[in-house]
Structure 1
Amino acid sequence: MKTLSKHLDVTAEINAVIDYVRLKWTPIENLDILVNQLQVRAFHDWRSFFDPSIGGMAGTLSGLHGQRKELLAKAYTGIALETAIVMDKPAQLIMHLLTQALALKDAARKLDGEWNFENASAATCRSARLRHPTLGYAVPKGWQAAGQGYDPNVHMAEYDNKADADLFQGTDLEAPRTQPLHQMISLPQVAHNEIEHRKKPANTLVSSIYSHFLGVREYLNTVQLVSAIESLTDWNAKGLVTHLDLATEHPMLNVMFKLMPQAQDLDFDAAVAQATQRALEFERMSDEQKAQRRESLVALTREIVRAAQSPTAQEKAEQQAHERTVHRLLIEAYGTNGADPKNDYGLTL
């Protein structure tokens, strides 16, 4: 298997899957068309989805924010530094992107409505078997010889994972929630699925390939988003940056920009003076007054948690309105459901 890389070649990945299935399964008519259809279906279904926890996204954003703090620390100290970090436009942008990345991940999953892998996989299997009537006869090589006494649990322990990993020339997606493709379509796993879950071999094959290309799309979406973020601006600009001209062709970044709060033009010296004054006022307070101030902050934090866990009717309405806005922006950026008319391989429902 190949190591996961941002240079992953989709055409090479498709060919690797075709070659491996031909090697390990009984003949499937029009296998190349089937795999292309599954890749297109997966890429369409996951067209907007990304995951901040993969592709170096979280690390990149955290690193850029730390980089801005280090650069600002060369020009400011104390309260001036704290104020500069808050007012620095690149640092503000990073915090906004981090917040939006976590929120938009879930919204992207629901682009075509509530999404569930089992339901999407079952629909894909039905569509594939309608288009490929002979697909239902496909089984892993060795299926017939295994016989009815075959115990997949015993043979799973004996399964030579390394040998098949060496044979599969596709990519190890390193996904913690799923097995690599060669394991998902191995004889022991397919037998286990049929015995324990009544899942036909052809359905295991289709859902596994579909899942693999969902993972490919998710990874590529994420690394492409990271690359677009890195090229947004000069993250090495010295001193406080008070203005950014943001432009991008990346659809998810455009959605994030549209969700940014209205920029406030504040005077840095005035902001430092105000922060200094607040700090002096706090120092002049009695211990009792300081304790009351801290209690007020704790109460505010509790209210924020309460609003998130048990929102009022008005808060729910505001949240739902925001979700509708986000969904509209995503649809504008990525389109509605349905096969892409520009390709010849769509597996439509």
Structure 2
Amino acid sequence: MAENAIPVALLPRRRPTTMGAMRRVVFVVHEGFQLLDLAGPADVLATATLLAPPGDGYRIEVAAAGAGTVTANTGIGVEASVPLAGVTGDIDTLVVVGGLEVERHLGLAGQIGRLSTLARRTASVCSGALLLAEAGLLTGRRATTHWLSAGALAAYPGVTVDADRIYQRDGVVWTSAGVTAGIDLALALVADDHGARTARDVARGLVVYLHRPGGQSQFSPALRAPAPDEALRDLLAHIDAHPGADLSVPALARRVGLSERHFARVFTGRTGMSPGRYVERSRAEAARRLLETTDHPLDRIARDTGIGAPETLFRVFRRLWRIAPGEYRRRFATR
């Protein structure tokens, strides 16, 4: 946590927003931020304002370390109307955006922590969750972020990371997954404020899902923390390359020359998941690639990837990605 981060628990929370007043939304940006992290949610809120009762929409402000032009990752400049230190008064929603270089801006955590005490709720888009964690706002909470940042977020004490969630709400703090997931988050905020019908109308107008099927891992490689140990890296490569092999704990422990108990403890500590869970995800990833690139029937895919039966394949896909294998193939086949 940043040294200048304010102890959030020591500062008073603001009262909830009353109906009939424009809801003030402050977006926090920084140099190199992901433009869609700002533009996507802002468009959702702007569209909701057109549909909301008069005076009950959203008033959007952009703040940064200093007022003036802030350059996004695309090279496009966005005008920050006020420096973070100059933001005062009640805020309905504080939204912290992310970007590939977000860890260069952890020094903003102190001001973000201060602003969160002025806000009814605080949210992050993509890797912006790292700034919330640095400010101490995710301690003792469940959160999500872009799958590339999941390991960095999990390194913060007291943060429980669910890296497959599109967005996560834990009390007054909301977090979302990578980039376009900010749109899903904003739609959820609109539904929370104005009801599902308004959120559905906004989604229809923007031609996006109101509730997209599956989690973010259906769009990304396997979600796992890197393993620094060379022997363990070799073992992970073996698992990924041979999904149909015997990948039981006894077999894997023999391969690295450890007792089963010690192996399970080391594996879980280095990767953040148990051997069984890793093997299941690796096999599911292999099945997913076959669904994308081949016409193999489901029973062959289940057999070749070590999953076993089509029924098990269906259960694994529904549990991991909340989508059936056949539906996944229809959406993402590239052959």
TM-score range, shorter chain: under 0.3
Give 1 or 2: higher strand fraction: 2
Query: Which has a greater percent of helix?
Result: 1
TM-score under structure 2 length normalisation:
0.23
1 or 2 for the larger relative contact order (CA 8 Å, sep ≥6)?
Answer: 1
